[in-house]
A and B are shown apart, each in its own frame.
Chain A
Amino acid sequence: MSRRWLIALALVAGVTGGGAALRAKRRALAADLATARDLHGGGYAGSLACRRCHPDHYTTWSRTFHRTMTTEATTTNIRGDFSGATLRHAGVEARMDRDADGGFRMTFRTPGAPPRTAKVVRAVGSRRYQQYLAAEGDALWRLPVAYHIEEKRWFPMTGAFLFADATAIDDAARPRFGGGVFDRHVTRWNDNCVFCHNVAPNPGRDPATGAFRTTVAELGIACEACHGPGDEHARANADPSRRYDLHLAPRADPTIVNPSRLDPARAADVCGRCHGQRITADVGPFLTHGDPFVAGDDLARYSRPLGRDTSLRGDATAFAARFWEDGTPRLTAYEYQGLRQSACAIKGGLTCTSCHGMHEGDPRGQIRARFAGASADSMCTQCHTPLAAPAAVAAHTHHDPAGAGARCVSCHMPRIVYGVLDVHPSHRIEIPKVPRNDPHDAGYGAGRPDACTLCHVAGLADREKGPRPMLSLFTSDPVGRAVAADALGNAPPFGGDERARRLGALLTSMTDDDFPAVRHIAWRSLRRLIAPGAAPDAGLAADFDPSADTPARLAAVERVRRALGPAVRDVDVRTRNALIIVASHQTLEIGE
């Protein structure tokens, strides 16, 4: 046989063999893609492995505060001022500085006790404020001092939660840093924060000894928190033929979860794992083996969301204070509950990602880019299309179509939710109703602020018209007072001496309210009124410390009052005293 024939034969054999191999490969691939996977127990690859194929998604996720939810204590990650700054609170002095090796540390000095130094090993949070963790035995503990990033100052954790001044705790199991009130919010990371601030959290608690061997797949909220364990996915797609098969005929890859392919309820469950406080019948397995939820699961398999009537050890009111009387959540991390109460979700298939994008938009809120700024109403008009036209907006809202009062979220998602030293929009999307203190009125129920009066704040004499912020600032419970304080700073001023009366009410709250978190929000609103847009660490009221003791607060407020002069109309003392008597001073556990 000639050489030419041999070559031809080899070519024919090669083409035939190659074709057969290609067909076999495609059959195997089709079978692989048709085989559903149980991702529970799957390995985690880590975000760096994801970056190899998804660099754009990695970059857009890297911008988010999800990524930096929990970080190691490195120079890059630490946002606090550790240059020797000090904070004095409740008789304790905390000093934040670096040790000889450059490590971050806090030293607590209490009169009559030896100083206690804690080495910071991790940080939690990176947007509004940052908290710090120190190791103690087999556990990490949240330290009692945090750094407010926006305000560039340290504050005691007692000022971040809805607790009155001098709410101490008697818990010998916690390590002592400053002691007493100062340590009120020293919390163990391993069985608290770990669950919502990391990928695949497992406290690893030994049921016999109570010791912790805590593990996470990755610190912070990374790719696999929302897409499920990705080790098999990364290995399978190292094969370019598999990748190109998926590129050329896009379809679901069973080795990974794509939340955009989930039905709206399951997609919301992915977020609800952390943005919807929940309870389980038996927390033991969670503490021993970790949270079994994997993206794509029905969250109800493992837990149920907390509601106003959720019972804890027979106490049907255990969580009631976290909700307004009509069941609307009043704290952050209950957005999932709010969404599930919304007609848009129940009837219309709305889910978290209808408005939020995990890979786009401003990291503060992660609203999808196409809904940014002037396009915010498109979040709603993407379904409620007839309301997109300005004429329809005017007729629907009875407000100037270009003004804040005509924005969908202003009325349908009012700012009535407290969390992380701020007040946020409710995620129960609903038709606004004004309660009229009428037993036959089908309003929200007593005490709940409504969208109208959060702008039309009115005055102390308008009690018959419902819980208006000026009144609620003194008569409501801590959440109601925080919401009212926020409204007084956000609402546009309506004529007359309303601005002066608001300033007077806020200054009174800054001195008299016994909840530092409420005083903080009143202070912020005051700054909005007197110097809109000014930096938090500048301006007339910059030296006010919401966590300082009463004389110090009085002195700071007096300076502001003198500087503002006749611009302030003070609250009548007798009226104030009469109102404060009816206020509730109930503390609220925020969900730890």
Chain B
Amino acid sequence: MNDEIRRCRRFGWTSLTAWALFGLAIEAAHGFKLGAYLDDNLRHTILRLAHAHGVILALVVLAFPATLPPEADGRAARRTGLLLRAAALLIPAGFALGAIAPHEADPGWPVVLVPIGGSLLVLGLIRTAWRAWRFR
């Protein structure tokens, strides 16, 4: 259990720092009116989505251990934590990498990571919700 808490804490804070820095970078791109960022509406949108998802999912990973009931099964918690961390990695990375060479209205092919990460996230959330109902 303590290992899982440590993993989530390390991943969560690292991820939050990385995506906050990413946010700073795109704000700077906005501030300095960088054409490569502002002129392509699709790239603009998906980079903002990458930042938003990265930050929010990092917070979800950080919050996850705090919501575990004391009597929770350690192995099950580890699997759920793994799902959430994978989702927190794949979803924003899919958006960010999809901004490289996007098509006119479709992000680049790495955006395929987003639905994969989304599926893992939903699975992780279902498991977390189920355990929240199961244990008092």
Q: Is A23 an interface residue (CB 8 A)?
A: no
Complex interface: chain B residues within 8 A of A52 (CB): 105
A57 to B103, CA, bound (A): 12
Contact assessment for B106 and A57 in the assembled complex, using a CB-CB cutoff below 8 Å: no
> Which residue of A is nearest B115, CB measured?
A240
Inter-subunit contact A55/B41 (CB<8 Å): yes
Contact of A247 with B41 in the complex, beta carbons under 8 Å: no
Which chain B residue shows the least CB distance to A247?
B103
- A349 to B6: give the CA distance in the assembly, Å: 69
In the complex, the answer to whether A53 meets B109 with C-beta atoms within 8 Å is no
B116 to chain A, nearest CB (A): 12
Task: Decide if B105 touches A247 in the complex (CB within 8 Å).
Answer: no
- Binary contact track B30-56/A, C-beta < 8 Å → 1, others 0: 000000000001100000000000000
Q: Which A residues are CB-close (under 8 A) to B109?
A: 244, 247-248
The interface on chain B, measured as residues whose beta carbon lies within 8 A of the other chain's beta carbons, has a size of: 7
Number of A-B contacts (CB under 8 A): 21
A-side interface residues, number (CB < 8 Å): 11
Q: How far is the CA of A547 from the CA of B105 in the complex (A)?
A: 51
A57–B104 CA distance with the chains assembled, in angstroms:
9
**A243 partner residues in chain B, CB cutoff 8 A:** 103, 106
CA of A53 to CA of B106, assembled, Å: 8
- Min CB distance A262 to B, Å, is 20
Decide: B104 and A244 in contact? CB cutoff 8 A: no
**A55 and B106 contact, CB distance less than 8 A:** no
State whether the Cβ of A54 lies closer than 8 Å to any Cβ in chain B: yes
In the assembled complex, A56 has its CB within 8 A of some CB on chain B: yes
CB distance from A308 to the nearest CB of B (A): 44
On chain B, the residues within 8 Å of A55 by CB distance are: 41-42, 104-105
Interface residues of A in 198-255 (CB under 8 A from B): 240, 243-244, 247-248
Interface residues of B in 105-134 (CB under 8 A from A): 105-106, 109
Q: How far is B43's CA from A56's CA once the two chains are assembled, in angstroms? A: 13
**What residue in chain A is nearest B112 (Cβ atoms)?**
A244
10 contacts between A and B (CB under 8 A): A52-B105, A53-B105, A54-B104, A54-B105, A55-B41, A56-B104, A57-B104, A240-B106, A243-B103, A247-B106
Across the A-B interface, the 7 shortest Cβ-Cβ residue pairs: A53-B105, A247-B103, A56-B104, A54-B104, A55-B105, A243-B106, A244-B109
Which residues in B have some Cβ–Cβ distance to A below 8 Å? 41-42, 103-106, 109
With A53-B105, A247-B109 already in contact, 10 other A-B pairs whose C-beta atoms are closer than 8 Å: A52-B105, A54-B104, A54-B105, A55-B42, A56-B104, A57-B104, A243-B103, A244-B106, A244-B109, A248-B109
